[in-house]
Structure 1
Amino acid sequence: MKFINFEKDGRTSFGAVKGERVINLGGKLRDDMWAVDDLLEHGLLNAAKDIAATLEPDLELNDVKLLKPVLKPGKIICVGVNYANRNAEYKDGSEVKKYPSIFMRTPGSLVAQGENLVRPPESEQLDYEGEIVLVIGKAGRRIPESEAYSHIAGLTIMNEGSIRDWIRHAKFNVTQGKNFERTGALGPWMVSADEVKDYTDIRVQTRVNGDVRQDDTTASMMYPIAYLVNYISTFTELMPGDIIATGTPTGAGARFDPPVWLKPGDNVEVEVDGIGVLRNGIEDEIV
Protein backbone atom coordinates (compact mmCIF):
# COMPACT_ATOMS: atom_id res chain seq x y z
CA MET A 1 0.00 0.00 0.00
CA LYS A 2 1.22 3.51 -0.83
CA PHE A 3 1.24 5.97 2.06
CA ILE A 4 1.61 9.73 1.64
CA ASN A 5 1.91 12.83 3.74
CA PHE A 6 0.04 15.68 2.09
CA GLU A 7 -1.31 19.17 2.48
CA LYS A 8 -4.88 20.11 1.59
CA ASP A 9 -6.49 23.49 2.22
CA GLY A 10 -3.59 24.49 4.46
CA ARG A 11 -3.79 21.41 6.67
CA THR A 12 -1.33 18.52 6.85
CA SER A 13 -2.63 14.96 6.88
CA PHE A 14 -1.70 11.51 5.62
CA GLY A 15 -3.40 8.85 3.61
CA ALA A 16 -3.28 5.80 1.39
CA VAL A 17 -3.15 6.12 -2.40
CA LYS A 18 -5.60 4.03 -4.38
CA GLY A 19 -5.20 4.53 -8.11
CA GLU A 20 -5.39 8.28 -8.70
CA ARG A 21 -7.29 8.95 -5.47
CA VAL A 22 -6.46 9.20 -1.79
CA ILE A 23 -8.04 7.76 1.35
CA ASN A 24 -7.57 10.46 3.98
CA LEU A 25 -6.49 8.68 7.17
CA GLY A 26 -5.80 11.76 9.28
CA GLY A 27 -7.36 11.32 12.73
CA LYS A 28 -8.96 8.00 11.83
CA LEU A 29 -6.63 5.83 13.93
CA ARG A 30 -6.18 8.32 16.77
CA ASP A 31 -7.16 11.94 17.17
CA ASP A 32 -3.50 12.98 17.43
CA MET A 33 -2.21 11.09 14.38
CA TRP A 34 -1.85 13.21 11.27
CA ALA A 35 1.33 11.97 9.56
CA VAL A 36 3.00 8.77 8.35
CA ASP A 37 5.65 9.59 10.96
CA ASP A 38 3.03 8.94 13.68
CA LEU A 39 2.21 5.52 12.22
CA LEU A 40 5.86 4.56 12.28
CA GLU A 41 6.48 5.90 15.78
CA HIS A 42 3.54 4.01 17.27
CA GLY A 43 3.86 0.83 15.18
CA LEU A 44 0.43 1.23 13.61
CA LEU A 45 1.23 0.77 9.93
CA ASN A 46 -0.64 -2.55 9.74
CA ALA A 47 -3.61 -1.02 11.53
CA ALA A 48 -3.65 1.79 8.98
CA LYS A 49 -3.64 -0.74 6.13
CA ASP A 50 -6.57 -2.56 7.72
CA ILE A 51 -8.60 0.63 8.10
CA ALA A 52 -7.75 1.82 4.58
CA ALA A 53 -8.98 -1.51 3.18
CA THR A 54 -12.46 -0.72 4.53
CA LEU A 55 -12.68 2.84 3.19
CA GLU A 56 -13.26 4.45 -0.19
CA PRO A 57 -11.04 7.32 -1.40
CA ASP A 58 -12.31 10.78 -0.58
CA LEU A 59 -9.70 12.99 -2.30
CA GLU A 60 -8.19 13.27 -5.75
CA LEU A 61 -4.41 12.75 -5.82
CA ASN A 62 -4.04 15.75 -8.13
CA ASP A 63 -5.86 17.96 -5.62
CA VAL A 64 -3.39 17.49 -2.77
CA LYS A 65 0.16 18.77 -2.33
CA LEU A 66 2.50 15.87 -1.69
CA LEU A 67 4.92 16.28 1.20
CA LYS A 68 7.93 14.14 1.99
CA PRO A 69 6.74 10.62 2.94
CA VAL A 70 8.62 10.94 6.24
CA LEU A 71 8.39 14.53 7.43
CA LYS A 72 10.91 14.45 10.27
CA PRO A 73 13.22 11.43 10.04
CA GLY A 74 15.30 10.99 13.16
CA LYS A 75 18.29 9.99 11.04
CA ILE A 76 18.98 10.23 7.31
CA ILE A 77 21.76 7.73 6.68
CA CYS A 78 23.30 7.52 3.21
CA VAL A 79 25.50 4.87 1.64
CA GLY A 80 28.17 5.84 -0.88
CA VAL A 81 29.62 3.80 -3.78
CA ASN A 82 27.43 0.72 -3.39
CA TYR A 83 26.93 -0.51 -6.98
CA ALA A 84 29.66 -2.80 -8.27
CA ASN A 85 30.70 -0.67 -11.24
CA ARG A 86 30.71 2.65 -9.37
CA ASN A 87 34.07 2.10 -7.69
CA ALA A 88 35.68 1.70 -11.14
CA GLU A 89 33.79 4.81 -12.29
CA TYR A 90 35.97 6.94 -9.98
CA LYS A 91 39.06 5.94 -12.00
CA ASP A 92 41.33 6.38 -8.98
CA GLY A 93 42.78 2.87 -8.95
CA SER A 94 41.33 2.11 -5.53
CA GLU A 95 40.14 -1.36 -4.54
CA VAL A 96 36.62 -2.07 -3.35
CA LYS A 97 36.50 -1.54 0.40
CA LYS A 98 35.42 -4.23 2.83
CA TYR A 99 32.92 -1.88 4.47
CA PRO A 100 30.54 0.72 2.99
CA SER A 101 31.04 4.47 3.07
CA ILE A 102 28.43 6.13 5.29
CA PHE A 103 27.41 9.77 5.67
CA MET A 104 24.41 11.71 6.95
CA ARG A 105 22.03 14.28 5.49
CA THR A 106 19.84 16.90 7.13
CA PRO A 107 16.05 17.04 6.57
CA GLY A 108 16.36 20.54 5.11
CA SER A 109 18.53 19.24 2.27
CA LEU A 110 15.54 17.36 0.81
CA VAL A 111 12.36 18.55 -0.89
CA ALA A 112 9.20 16.66 -1.80
CA GLN A 113 7.71 15.33 -5.03
CA GLY A 114 7.12 18.12 -7.55
CA GLU A 115 9.23 20.71 -5.77
CA ASN A 116 12.33 22.12 -7.43
CA LEU A 117 15.84 21.25 -6.39
CA VAL A 118 17.75 24.46 -5.72
CA ARG A 119 21.15 25.21 -7.25
CA PRO A 120 23.08 27.43 -4.81
CA PRO A 121 25.07 30.49 -5.95
CA GLU A 122 28.26 28.96 -4.55
CA SER A 123 28.51 26.30 -7.26
CA GLU A 124 27.15 25.21 -10.64
CA GLN A 125 28.01 21.56 -9.92
CA LEU A 126 24.55 20.32 -8.87
CA ASP A 127 24.37 16.60 -9.68
CA TYR A 128 21.71 13.87 -9.41
CA GLU A 129 21.86 10.44 -7.74
CA GLY A 130 18.83 8.16 -7.96
CA GLU A 131 18.50 5.88 -4.94
CA ILE A 132 16.23 3.34 -3.26
CA VAL A 133 15.44 4.32 0.33
CA LEU A 134 14.57 2.11 3.29
CA VAL A 135 12.13 3.43 5.88
CA ILE A 136 12.67 1.84 9.27
CA GLY A 137 9.56 0.66 11.08
CA LYS A 138 10.93 -1.30 14.04
CA ALA A 139 13.75 -0.26 16.35
CA GLY A 140 16.86 -2.38 16.59
CA ARG A 141 20.53 -2.49 17.43
CA ARG A 142 22.96 -5.05 15.97
CA ILE A 143 20.18 -6.46 13.81
CA PRO A 144 21.13 -9.82 12.25
CA GLU A 145 20.93 -9.94 8.47
CA SER A 146 18.38 -12.74 8.83
CA GLU A 147 16.04 -10.31 10.64
CA ALA A 148 16.82 -7.16 8.66
CA TYR A 149 13.72 -7.12 6.46
CA SER A 150 11.41 -7.29 9.47
CA HIS A 151 12.70 -3.87 10.57
CA ILE A 152 11.79 -2.20 7.26
CA ALA A 153 8.39 -0.50 7.15
CA GLY A 154 8.59 0.37 3.48
CA LEU A 155 10.51 1.83 0.57
CA THR A 156 10.64 5.25 -1.01
CA ILE A 157 12.88 7.08 -3.50
CA MET A 158 15.59 9.72 -3.13
CA ASN A 159 17.33 11.97 -5.59
CA GLU A 160 20.44 12.24 -3.44
CA GLY A 161 21.53 15.49 -5.06
CA SER A 162 25.10 16.64 -4.52
CA ILE A 163 27.22 19.76 -4.97
CA ARG A 164 30.25 17.99 -6.40
CA ASP A 165 33.06 20.48 -5.80
CA TRP A 166 31.99 20.95 -2.17
CA ILE A 167 32.20 17.18 -1.67
CA ARG A 168 35.95 17.50 -2.30
CA HIS A 169 36.64 20.43 0.02
CA ALA A 170 38.31 18.16 2.57
CA LYS A 171 40.23 14.88 2.46
CA PHE A 172 37.68 12.54 4.09
CA ASN A 173 34.54 14.64 4.19
CA VAL A 174 31.52 14.77 1.85
CA THR A 175 29.13 16.39 4.35
CA GLN A 176 29.19 19.91 2.92
CA GLY A 177 28.41 18.87 -0.64
CA LYS A 178 25.62 16.54 0.48
CA ASN A 179 23.74 19.02 2.65
CA PHE A 180 23.12 22.26 0.78
CA GLU A 181 19.51 23.26 1.45
CA ARG A 182 16.95 21.76 -0.96
CA THR A 183 19.47 20.03 -3.23
CA GLY A 184 17.89 16.55 -2.97
CA ALA A 185 14.40 15.07 -2.95
CA LEU A 186 12.40 12.33 -1.23
CA GLY A 187 9.13 10.78 -2.36
CA PRO A 188 6.60 10.55 -3.82
CA TRP A 189 5.29 8.12 -1.19
CA MET A 190 6.26 5.14 0.94
CA VAL A 191 5.29 1.71 -0.36
CA SER A 192 4.76 -0.71 2.52
CA ALA A 193 7.27 -3.53 2.79
CA ASP A 194 4.68 -6.26 2.18
CA GLU A 195 4.59 -5.07 -1.46
CA VAL A 196 8.30 -5.87 -1.92
CA LYS A 197 8.80 -9.39 -3.24
CA ASP A 198 12.57 -9.44 -3.69
CA TYR A 199 14.96 -6.87 -2.20
CA THR A 200 17.84 -8.33 -4.20
CA ASP A 201 16.45 -7.42 -7.64
CA ILE A 202 14.86 -3.95 -7.63
CA ARG A 203 15.52 -1.69 -10.62
CA VAL A 204 16.32 2.03 -10.25
CA GLN A 205 16.53 4.36 -13.24
CA THR A 206 17.31 8.09 -13.40
CA ARG A 207 16.28 10.27 -16.35
CA VAL A 208 17.21 13.91 -17.03
CA ASN A 209 14.88 15.61 -19.50
CA GLY A 210 13.82 12.12 -20.61
CA ASP A 211 17.38 10.93 -21.23
CA VAL A 212 18.27 7.77 -19.28
CA ARG A 213 21.41 8.45 -17.22
CA GLN A 214 21.35 5.69 -14.60
CA ASP A 215 19.88 2.19 -14.88
CA ASP A 216 20.73 -0.76 -12.62
CA THR A 217 19.27 -3.16 -10.07
CA THR A 218 20.01 -4.00 -6.44
CA ALA A 219 21.53 -7.26 -7.73
CA SER A 220 24.62 -5.11 -8.45
CA MET A 221 24.97 -3.88 -4.88
CA MET A 222 28.31 -4.62 -3.23
CA TYR A 223 26.64 -4.20 0.17
CA PRO A 224 23.11 -5.69 -0.05
CA ILE A 225 20.16 -4.24 1.79
CA ALA A 226 20.10 -6.83 4.60
CA TYR A 227 23.82 -6.27 5.18
CA LEU A 228 23.36 -2.49 5.32
CA VAL A 229 20.70 -2.80 8.03
CA ASN A 230 23.01 -5.08 10.00
CA TYR A 231 26.11 -2.91 9.54
CA ILE A 232 24.47 0.45 10.27
CA SER A 233 22.59 -0.86 13.31
CA THR A 234 25.93 -2.00 14.76
CA PHE A 235 27.02 1.57 15.48
CA THR A 236 23.65 3.30 15.87
CA GLU A 237 20.24 2.13 17.03
CA LEU A 238 17.82 2.27 14.14
CA MET A 239 14.51 3.83 15.15
CA PRO A 240 11.08 4.02 13.49
CA GLY A 241 11.13 6.85 10.98
CA ASP A 242 14.87 6.65 10.27
CA ILE A 243 15.67 6.38 6.58
CA ILE A 244 18.59 4.77 4.75
CA ALA A 245 19.52 5.78 1.19
CA THR A 246 21.18 2.69 -0.24
CA GLY A 247 23.49 4.14 -2.91
CA THR A 248 23.31 5.15 -6.55
CA PRO A 249 24.24 3.38 -9.80
CA THR A 250 26.86 4.56 -12.25
CA GLY A 251 25.97 7.43 -14.58
CA ALA A 252 25.88 10.59 -12.47
CA GLY A 253 26.63 13.83 -14.28
CA ALA A 254 30.10 14.07 -12.75
CA ARG A 255 31.18 10.97 -14.69
CA PHE A 256 30.58 12.43 -18.14
CA ASP A 257 33.48 13.94 -20.09
CA PRO A 258 33.04 16.84 -19.75
CA PRO A 259 30.73 16.67 -16.69
CA VAL A 260 27.06 17.50 -17.22
CA TRP A 261 25.54 19.45 -14.33
CA LEU A 262 21.88 20.11 -13.61
CA LYS A 263 20.65 23.58 -14.54
CA PRO A 264 17.44 25.58 -14.14
CA GLY A 265 14.69 24.20 -16.34
CA ASP A 266 15.94 20.62 -16.21
CA ASN A 267 13.56 17.88 -15.08
CA VAL A 268 14.82 14.83 -13.19
CA GLU A 269 12.89 11.60 -12.77
CA VAL A 270 14.00 8.74 -10.55
CA GLU A 271 11.95 5.59 -11.11
CA VAL A 272 12.05 2.48 -8.93
CA ASP A 273 10.15 -0.64 -9.89
CA GLY A 274 7.28 -1.31 -7.54
CA ILE A 275 7.45 2.15 -5.98
CA GLY A 276 6.90 4.81 -8.62
CA VAL A 277 8.55 7.94 -10.01
CA LEU A 278 10.06 10.86 -8.08
CA ARG A 279 9.90 14.00 -10.25
CA ASN A 280 11.61 17.34 -9.61
CA GLY A 281 12.63 20.42 -11.58
CA ILE A 282 15.66 22.64 -11.03
CA GLU A 283 15.85 26.32 -10.09
CA ASP A 284 18.49 28.75 -8.92
CA GLU A 285 18.51 29.93 -5.32
CA ILE A 286 17.50 33.56 -4.97
CA VAL A 287 19.73 35.37 -2.48
Structure 2
Amino acid sequence: MKLVRYGPPGGEKPGLLAADDSLRDLSGEIEDLSGLALSPAELARLHALDPSSLPRVSGDPRFGPPVGSVGKCIGVGLNYADHAAEAGMAAPDEPILFMKANTALCGPNDDLTLPPGSQKTDWEVELAVVIGTLTRRVSEAKALDCVAGYAVMNDLSERSYQLEGTGQWLKGKSCDGFAPLGPWLVTADEVPDPQRLRLWTKVNDEIMQDGSTATMIFPVGFLVSYISRFMTLMPGDVIATGTPPGVGMGRKPQVFLKKADVVEVGVEGLGAQRQQVIA
Protein backbone atom coordinates (compact mmCIF):
# COMPACT_ATOMS: atom_id res chain seq x y z
CA MET A 1 0.00 0.00 0.00
CA LYS A 2 1.28 3.44 -0.96
CA LEU A 3 0.10 6.16 1.40
CA VAL A 4 0.48 9.87 0.70
CA ARG A 5 -0.35 13.29 2.10
CA TYR A 6 -1.40 15.80 -0.52
CA GLY A 7 -2.26 19.48 -0.59
CA PRO A 8 -0.62 22.78 0.38
CA PRO A 9 2.00 22.95 3.13
CA GLY A 10 0.28 22.70 6.50
CA GLY A 11 -3.00 21.67 4.89
CA GLU A 12 -2.18 18.18 3.64
CA LYS A 13 -4.85 15.47 3.55
CA PRO A 14 -4.24 11.71 3.77
CA GLY A 15 -4.58 9.63 0.65
CA LEU A 16 -3.54 6.43 -1.06
CA LEU A 17 -2.45 5.44 -4.53
CA ALA A 18 -4.72 2.82 -6.07
CA ALA A 19 -3.45 0.05 -8.32
CA ASP A 20 -4.35 2.17 -11.36
CA ASP A 21 -2.19 5.03 -9.94
CA SER A 22 -5.25 7.16 -9.21
CA LEU A 23 -5.06 9.21 -6.02
CA ARG A 24 -7.81 8.45 -3.52
CA ASP A 25 -8.79 10.57 -0.54
CA LEU A 26 -8.56 8.95 2.91
CA SER A 27 -9.74 11.92 4.98
CA GLY A 28 -13.10 10.21 5.54
CA GLU A 29 -11.27 7.29 7.15
CA ILE A 30 -8.45 8.90 9.13
CA GLU A 31 -7.61 12.43 10.19
CA ASP A 32 -3.97 12.18 9.14
CA LEU A 33 -1.18 9.70 8.45
CA SER A 34 0.32 10.09 11.88
CA GLY A 35 0.42 8.49 15.31
CA LEU A 36 -2.00 5.62 15.81
CA ALA A 37 -3.06 5.74 12.14
CA LEU A 38 0.28 4.02 11.46
CA SER A 39 -0.37 1.14 13.85
CA PRO A 40 -0.61 -2.40 12.46
CA ALA A 41 -4.35 -2.56 13.17
CA GLU A 42 -5.11 0.72 11.41
CA LEU A 43 -2.90 -0.09 8.42
CA ALA A 44 -4.65 -3.45 8.11
CA ARG A 45 -8.02 -1.66 8.14
CA LEU A 46 -6.90 0.74 5.42
CA HIS A 47 -5.50 -2.12 3.38
CA ALA A 48 -8.90 -3.83 3.46
CA LEU A 49 -10.65 -0.82 1.92
CA ASP A 50 -11.71 -0.92 -1.72
CA PRO A 51 -9.85 2.04 -3.26
CA SER A 52 -12.60 2.49 -5.85
CA SER A 53 -14.99 3.30 -3.01
CA LEU A 54 -12.87 6.27 -1.94
CA PRO A 55 -13.21 9.75 -3.49
CA ARG A 56 -10.91 10.23 -6.44
CA VAL A 57 -8.63 13.28 -6.23
CA SER A 58 -8.50 15.22 -9.48
CA GLY A 59 -5.68 17.26 -10.89
CA ASP A 60 -2.03 17.05 -9.91
CA PRO A 61 -1.80 18.13 -6.27
CA ARG A 62 1.40 18.72 -4.38
CA PHE A 63 2.61 15.83 -2.22
CA GLY A 64 3.74 16.68 1.28
CA PRO A 65 5.82 14.42 3.51
CA PRO A 66 3.83 11.16 3.75
CA VAL A 67 3.92 11.20 7.57
CA GLY A 68 2.39 13.97 9.64
CA SER A 69 3.21 15.26 13.13
CA VAL A 70 6.63 13.59 13.16
CA GLY A 71 8.02 13.65 16.69
CA LYS A 72 11.62 12.63 15.99
CA CYS A 73 13.74 12.44 12.87
CA ILE A 74 16.86 10.43 13.67
CA GLY A 75 19.82 10.18 11.32
CA VAL A 76 22.48 7.49 11.12
CA GLY A 77 25.92 8.69 10.05
CA LEU A 78 28.55 6.82 8.03
CA ASN A 79 26.46 3.66 7.70
CA TYR A 80 28.12 2.66 4.41
CA ALA A 81 31.84 1.85 4.66
CA ASP A 82 32.60 3.28 1.21
CA HIS A 83 30.86 6.54 2.13
CA ALA A 84 32.92 6.76 5.33
CA ALA A 85 36.04 6.28 3.22
CA GLU A 86 35.14 9.08 0.80
CA ALA A 87 34.49 11.35 3.79
CA GLY A 88 37.95 10.53 5.16
CA MET A 89 36.49 8.95 8.30
CA ALA A 90 36.82 5.50 9.81
CA ALA A 91 33.89 3.12 9.52
CA PRO A 92 32.17 3.17 12.93
CA ASP A 93 32.14 0.24 15.34
CA GLU A 94 28.59 1.12 16.36
CA PRO A 95 25.99 3.40 14.81
CA ILE A 96 26.59 7.16 14.82
CA LEU A 97 23.31 8.90 15.64
CA PHE A 98 22.23 12.50 15.16
CA MET A 99 18.93 14.36 15.04
CA LYS A 100 17.39 16.34 12.23
CA ALA A 101 14.86 18.93 13.36
CA ASN A 102 11.34 17.91 12.34
CA THR A 103 10.98 21.41 10.85
CA ALA A 104 13.41 20.26 8.15
CA LEU A 105 10.76 17.88 6.78
CA CYS A 106 9.10 18.93 3.53
CA GLY A 107 7.44 17.49 0.47
CA PRO A 108 9.44 15.36 -1.97
CA ASN A 109 9.26 17.85 -4.83
CA ASP A 110 9.31 21.13 -2.93
CA ASP A 111 11.91 23.69 -3.96
CA LEU A 112 15.14 23.64 -1.96
CA THR A 113 16.03 27.07 -0.60
CA LEU A 114 19.72 27.34 0.22
CA PRO A 115 20.23 28.60 3.79
CA PRO A 116 21.83 32.04 4.25
CA GLY A 117 25.56 31.92 3.61
CA SER A 118 25.46 28.35 2.36
CA GLN A 119 28.48 27.34 0.31
CA LYS A 120 28.52 23.56 0.83
CA THR A 121 24.99 22.18 0.67
CA ASP A 122 25.23 18.50 -0.24
CA TRP A 123 22.88 15.65 -1.20
CA GLU A 124 22.43 12.25 0.46
CA VAL A 125 19.87 9.72 -0.78
CA GLU A 126 18.66 7.53 2.08
CA LEU A 127 16.19 4.80 2.94
CA ALA A 128 13.86 6.25 5.58
CA VAL A 129 12.17 3.96 8.09
CA VAL A 130 8.86 4.99 9.67
CA ILE A 131 7.98 3.51 13.05
CA GLY A 132 4.45 2.14 13.51
CA THR A 133 4.29 1.05 17.16
CA LEU A 134 5.72 2.28 20.43
CA THR A 135 9.18 0.72 20.49
CA ARG A 136 11.41 0.46 23.53
CA ARG A 137 14.41 -1.87 23.87
CA VAL A 138 13.15 -4.18 21.13
CA SER A 139 15.25 -7.16 20.08
CA GLU A 140 16.79 -7.17 16.62
CA ALA A 141 14.73 -10.26 15.79
CA LYS A 142 11.47 -8.37 16.40
CA ALA A 143 12.56 -4.90 15.31
CA LEU A 144 11.11 -4.99 11.78
CA ASP A 145 7.70 -5.81 13.27
CA CYS A 146 7.73 -2.25 14.65
CA VAL A 147 8.14 -0.65 11.21
CA ALA A 148 5.05 0.82 9.52
CA GLY A 149 6.79 1.37 6.22
CA TYR A 150 9.58 2.92 4.19
CA ALA A 151 10.14 6.07 2.16
CA VAL A 152 12.78 8.02 0.25
CA MET A 153 14.63 10.81 2.03
CA ASN A 154 17.21 13.29 0.77
CA ASP A 155 19.28 13.94 3.92
CA LEU A 156 20.51 17.32 2.77
CA SER A 157 23.55 18.62 4.63
CA GLU A 158 25.34 21.95 4.81
CA ARG A 159 28.89 20.67 5.28
CA SER A 160 30.41 23.88 6.63
CA TYR A 161 27.72 24.04 9.34
CA GLN A 162 28.17 20.32 10.02
CA LEU A 163 31.95 19.92 10.04
CA GLU A 164 33.62 23.32 10.28
CA GLY A 165 33.61 25.84 13.09
CA THR A 166 32.02 24.14 16.10
CA GLY A 167 31.32 21.12 13.90
CA GLN A 168 27.82 20.20 15.03
CA TRP A 169 25.96 17.76 12.80
CA LEU A 170 22.58 19.02 14.04
CA LYS A 171 23.23 22.47 12.57
CA GLY A 172 24.28 21.09 9.20
CA LYS A 173 21.32 18.73 8.93
CA SER A 174 18.35 20.75 10.20
CA CYS A 175 17.87 23.74 7.92
CA ASP A 176 14.33 24.25 6.64
CA GLY A 177 13.67 21.93 3.71
CA PHE A 178 16.66 19.68 4.45
CA ALA A 179 14.58 16.50 4.82
CA PRO A 180 12.40 15.99 1.74
CA LEU A 181 10.41 12.82 2.45
CA GLY A 182 8.33 10.76 0.04
CA PRO A 183 6.70 10.77 -2.45
CA TRP A 184 4.81 8.08 -0.52
CA LEU A 185 5.04 5.76 2.43
CA VAL A 186 5.22 2.17 1.21
CA THR A 187 3.91 -0.15 3.92
CA ALA A 188 6.31 -2.75 5.27
CA ASP A 189 4.38 -5.69 3.79
CA GLU A 190 5.42 -4.49 0.32
CA VAL A 191 9.14 -4.33 1.23
CA PRO A 192 10.02 -7.91 2.18
CA ASP A 193 13.75 -7.18 2.44
CA PRO A 194 14.87 -3.59 3.08
CA GLN A 195 18.48 -4.72 2.56
CA ARG A 196 18.00 -5.35 -1.15
CA LEU A 197 17.09 -1.90 -2.47
CA ARG A 198 18.98 0.24 -4.99
CA LEU A 199 19.46 3.94 -4.15
CA TRP A 200 20.48 6.65 -6.59
CA THR A 201 21.01 10.40 -6.94
CA LYS A 202 21.17 12.59 -10.03
CA VAL A 203 22.25 16.22 -10.08
CA ASN A 204 21.42 18.02 -13.32
CA ASP A 205 20.79 14.59 -14.91
CA GLU A 206 24.26 13.27 -13.96
CA ILE A 207 24.35 10.16 -11.79
CA MET A 208 26.17 10.97 -8.55
CA GLN A 209 25.15 8.09 -6.27
CA ASP A 210 24.31 4.53 -7.27
CA GLY A 211 24.34 2.12 -4.36
CA SER A 212 22.43 -0.58 -2.52
CA THR A 213 21.14 -1.00 0.99
CA ALA A 214 22.86 -4.40 0.87
CA THR A 215 26.12 -2.61 1.71
CA MET A 216 24.89 -0.99 4.92
CA ILE A 217 27.22 -1.58 7.87
CA PHE A 218 24.27 -1.79 10.26
CA PRO A 219 21.03 -3.13 8.72
CA VAL A 220 17.58 -1.74 9.41
CA GLY A 221 16.58 -4.29 12.05
CA PHE A 222 19.77 -3.68 14.02
CA LEU A 223 19.32 0.10 13.80
CA VAL A 224 15.75 0.03 15.13
CA SER A 225 16.82 -2.25 17.98
CA TYR A 226 19.93 -0.21 18.77
CA ILE A 227 18.19 3.19 18.74
CA SER A 228 15.39 1.86 20.95
CA ARG A 229 17.96 1.17 23.67
CA PHE A 230 18.53 4.89 24.08
CA MET A 231 15.10 6.40 23.41
CA THR A 232 11.51 5.33 23.01
CA LEU A 233 10.48 5.33 19.37
CA MET A 234 6.93 6.51 18.78
CA PRO A 235 4.55 5.88 15.87
CA GLY A 236 5.51 8.28 13.11
CA ASP A 237 9.14 8.70 14.15
CA VAL A 238 11.48 8.62 11.15
CA ILE A 239 14.94 7.03 10.93
CA ALA A 240 17.21 8.00 8.02
CA THR A 241 19.54 5.03 7.65
CA GLY A 242 22.61 6.49 5.94
CA THR A 243 23.82 7.14 2.42
CA PRO A 244 26.02 5.29 -0.08
CA PRO A 245 29.10 6.95 -1.66
CA GLY A 246 28.87 9.69 -4.23
CA VAL A 247 28.09 12.78 -2.18
CA GLY A 248 29.45 16.13 -3.31
CA MET A 249 31.88 16.36 -0.39
CA GLY A 250 33.58 13.15 -1.51
CA ARG A 251 34.17 14.15 -5.11
CA LYS A 252 37.49 15.49 -6.42
CA PRO A 253 37.09 18.39 -6.79
CA GLN A 254 34.21 18.75 -4.38
CA VAL A 255 30.83 19.73 -5.83
CA PHE A 256 28.02 21.41 -3.91
CA LEU A 257 24.54 22.59 -4.81
CA LYS A 258 23.95 26.03 -6.27
CA LYS A 259 21.03 28.05 -7.53
CA ALA A 260 19.16 26.44 -10.47
CA ASP A 261 20.55 22.95 -9.85
CA VAL A 262 18.07 20.07 -9.96
CA VAL A 263 18.49 17.15 -7.55
CA GLU A 264 16.68 13.84 -8.06
CA VAL A 265 16.90 10.94 -5.61
CA GLY A 266 15.17 7.58 -5.55
CA VAL A 267 15.00 4.20 -3.88
CA GLU A 268 13.93 1.04 -5.70
CA GLY A 269 10.23 0.38 -5.18
CA LEU A 270 9.74 3.54 -3.10
CA GLY A 271 9.58 6.18 -5.81
CA ALA A 272 11.67 9.24 -6.58
CA GLN A 273 11.74 12.91 -5.66
CA ARG A 274 12.99 16.09 -7.28
CA GLN A 275 14.17 19.39 -5.83
CA GLN A 276 14.88 22.60 -7.74
CA VAL A 277 17.51 24.66 -5.92
CA ILE A 278 16.66 28.32 -5.40
CA ALA A 279 18.60 31.09 -3.72
- With normalisation by structure 2, the TM-score equals 0.93
The equivalent of 1:36 in structure 2 is 33
The SS at the match of 2:232 is: coil
CA distance in structure 2 between the aligned counterparts of 1:13 and 1:183, rounded to whole angstroms: 22
- Give the unaligned 5+ runs of structure 2: none
Distance 1:212 1:80, change over 3 A: same
Amino acid at match of 1:7: G
Amino acid at match of 1:127: D
Residue deviations 1:87-124, cap 9 Å, x none?
211235x3x22111100011221220221111122222
Cα distance, 1:276 vs structure 2 = 0.6
CA distance in structure 1 between the aligned counterparts of 2:199 and 2:55, rounded to whole angstroms: 29
The equivalent of 1:86 in structure 2 is 83
Q: 1:47 aligns with which of 45, 48, 51?
A: 45
1:180 aligns with 2:175: yes
What pairs with 1:1-287 in structure 2 (closer than 5 Å)? 1-7=1-7, 12-18=12-18, 19-28=20-29, 33-38=30-35, 39-40=37-38, 43-53=41-51, 55=53, 58-60=56-58, 62-92=59-89, 94=90, 96-169=91-164, 173-284=168-279
Amino acid at match of 2:130: V
Cα distance, 1:44 vs structure 2 = 1.0
Distance 1:20 1:207, change over 3 A: same
CA distance in structure 1 between the aligned counterparts of 2:252 and 2:88, rounded to whole angstroms: 13
Cα distance, 1:84 vs structure 2 = 2.1
Residue deviations 1:156-188, cap 9 Å, x none?
111100111111135663111111222331111
CA distance in structure 1 between the aligned counterparts of 2:170 and 2:39, rounded to whole angstroms: 27
The SS at the match of 2:242 is: coil
- Give the unaligned 5+ runs of structure 1: none
- 8 A contact 1:145–1:227 mirrored in 2: yes
Q: How many pairs are equivalent?
A: 276
104-113 or 141-150: which moved more? 104-113
The SS at the match of 1:45 is: helix
CA distance in structure 2 between the aligned counterparts of 1:283 and 1:43, rounded to whole angstroms: 42
- With normalisation by structure 1, the TM-score equals 0.90
- 8 A contact 1:76–1:107 mirrored in 2: yes
Distance 1:11 1:104, change over 3 A: closer
CA distance in structure 2 between the aligned counterparts of 1:2 and 1:106, rounded to whole angstroms: 25
Residue deviations 1:118-138, cap 9 Å, x none?
112222211100000000001
The SS at the match of 1:219 is: helix
- 8 A contact 1:86–1:250 mirrored in 2: yes
Measured on the aligned residues, the alpha-carbon RMSD in Å equals 1.9
- 8 A contact 1:126–1:183 mirrored in 2: no
- 8 A contact 1:68–1:111 mirrored in 2: yes
Residue deviations 1:229-278, cap 9 Å, x none?
11000001111000100000100011112211111211111111111111
143-152 or 107-116: which moved more? 107-116
CA distance in structure 1 between the aligned counterparts of 2:167 and 2:103, rounded to whole angstroms: 23
CA distance in structure 2 between the aligned counterparts of 1:50 and 1:65, rounded to whole angstroms: 26
CA distance in structure 2 between the aligned counterparts of 1:43 and 1:264, rounded to whole angstroms: 45
